[in-house]
A and B are shown apart, each in its own frame.
Chain A
Amino acid sequence: MKVWECIVCGFVYDEAKGMPEDGIAPGTRWEDIPEDWACPECGVAKSDFEMMAVAA
């Protein structure tokens, strides 16, 4: 499962955890999150997240 990080504030979206409080079930892939979703901490657009390299 992949992890995505907000490039402005560092908020992390973990595909395995999802965001149930936002209606995003655990296991929801990044591609399946609506494009108008924004960072819950700082409001920047979904397109301003970067995939984090996960330590092997």
Chain B
Amino acid sequence: MKRPEIKTMQNLESAFAGESMAHIKYRYFAKLARAAGDEDTARAFEETAEQEVEHAFGHLDLIYPKAEMTPAKCLEIAIAGETYEYTEMYPTFRRAAESEGNQAAIKEIDEQMAESREHAERFQAVLAKAAKRFAALAKVEERHANQYRTVLAKTRKAAA
């Protein structure tokens, strides 16, 4: 009999992603509120952000059970993640942003854009900035992966 797909493991991954995003989003909103002079709102966001971390740790405890995780295993998983980002994800995103930027430029010449000139220029600026950031991030994620590889080699040597 074929083993049924376990929804709950997927749900745990989704829940972990959601809590992680909430945590960082709230820290970003706290920054925005503070910059706008609203210290109360900033603190409210920061307090809940801290709790979202604990929620996320709860999900991670089930996704990566302590009993199964060694430092070497953690490093292997981290290396895989960073490597995916700098070899596939960011290069793909960068090409898309550059391509869309080029297409938007061509469209602007060929036809009248529905939005105002200002919107069109702002959109172009977002695409250009995104492309640059994806390129920069691919480089730093590669550095992370290599740092983890170095630490993993040391960890394995120490365990041998």
Contacts and interface: CB of A to CB of B under 8 A. Distances in A.
Consensus secondary structure, chain B interface: helix
Interface residues of A, number: 8
Interface string A34-49: 0000100011110010
Interface string B20-58: 000000000000000000000000000000000000000
A43 B144 CA distance: 9
A45 B144 CA distance: 12
Contacts of B133: 7-8
Interface in A1-38: 7-8, 38
**Majority secondary structure of chain A interface residues (helix, strand, loop or mixed):** loop
The 9 closest A-B pairs by CB, nearest first: A48-B136, A44-B136, A43-B140, A44-B140, A8-B133, A8-B136, A7-B132, A45-B139, A7-B136
A45 B129 contact: no
Interface in B112-155: 129, 132-133, 135-137, 139-140, 143-144
A38 B146 CA distance: 15
Nearest to A49: B136
Contacts of B136: 7-8, 44-45, 48
Given A44-B136, A44-B137, A45-B136, A7 B143 contact: no
Given A44-B139, A48-B136, 5 more contacts: A7-B129, A7-B133, A44-B136, A48-B132, A48-B135
Contacts of A7: 129, 132-133, 136
Contacts of B144: 43
8 contacts: A7-B136, A8-B133, A43-B143, A43-B144, A44-B136, A44-B139, A48-B135, A48-B139
